[in-house]
Structure formats: structure tokens, C-alpha cells
Amino acid sequence: MKASIYHNPRCSKSREALGILQDAGAEVEVIEYLKTPPSRAKLAELYARAGMTPRAGLRVAEDAARPLKNAGADTILDAMTVDPMLIERPLVETEKGVRLGRPPEKVREIL
């Protein structure tokens, strides 16, 4: 099985999700999204496949998320494209779907 993980190696939840994928024997493509951010179109696709809104994928703990409190999906996607730190992590994609790995065990749903 192939999997892609939008990963931040400094994040414990992201490291846990990566470990779950590796333990499951998945062929994992690790994308450090802070170095190589996904395009706006890719983010929209990931959230649609996950059945979630961009707001649900917004890392609200970041100071830069405060001005987005009442923003719509398009504005949030635009902001994430400019500042990928606003993307909640980890996002995991397999042929079975996409999950936000919070908690990390949620990635098992798409293995």
C-alpha cells in the first residue's frame, strides 16, 4: 500500500502517524509540507476526500489563524497556501481516502 503524509518532523502527532504507517508496511511518501507546501488545489482536494472543510483543517493554535475566525473556505485555503504553518497536521492520503491524523490512530481507517 502506498501512502503520502504531509508531515512536520517536529510534531509528535505527525511522528506517531508516520510510525503507524511504517508499522503497517506502507510505502510512505513523506512530504515536509513546511518545506514543500501543497498547492491550493491539492489542499482543497485533500479536504474534500477527507470529507472535511478547510476550517476543520486550520491549525487554530497559530496566531496567524486568529484573523480567519469568521473567514470562509476560500479565504482559509488562500491563507494556508501563503502560510503552510496554518495547515493542521498530519494529513495522510492513501487510495482508500484522506484523514487528518488527530488522533494519529485515525490513519488506520484508510490503511
Query: Which CATH number goes with the domain that contains 51?
Result: 3.40.30.10
Rounded Cα gap, residues 23 and 49, in angstroms: 24
Mean pLDDT of 18-24: 98
This prediction's pTM: 0.94
The domain of 37 spans: 2-110
Cis previous bond, 90, omega within 30:
yes
Q: Encode pLDDT of 58-81 as tens digits.
A: 999 999 999 999 999 999 999 999
Q: Which of 8, 11, 73, 103 is catalytic?
A: 11
Q: Which residues contact 70 (CB under 8 A, 6 or more apart)?
A: none
Q: Please indicate whether residue 11 is annotated as part of the active site.
A: yes
Q: Which residues pair with 98 in a beta bridge?
A: 93
pLDDT in the model for residue 24 = 97
Please give the radius of gyration of the chain, using alpha carbons only, rounded to the nearest integer. 13
Q: Domain total for the chain?
A: 1
Q: Give Cα 77 to chain centroid, integer Å.
A: 12
Where does the pLDDT of residue 14 fall: very low under 50, low under 70, confident under 90, or very high at 90 and above?
A: very high
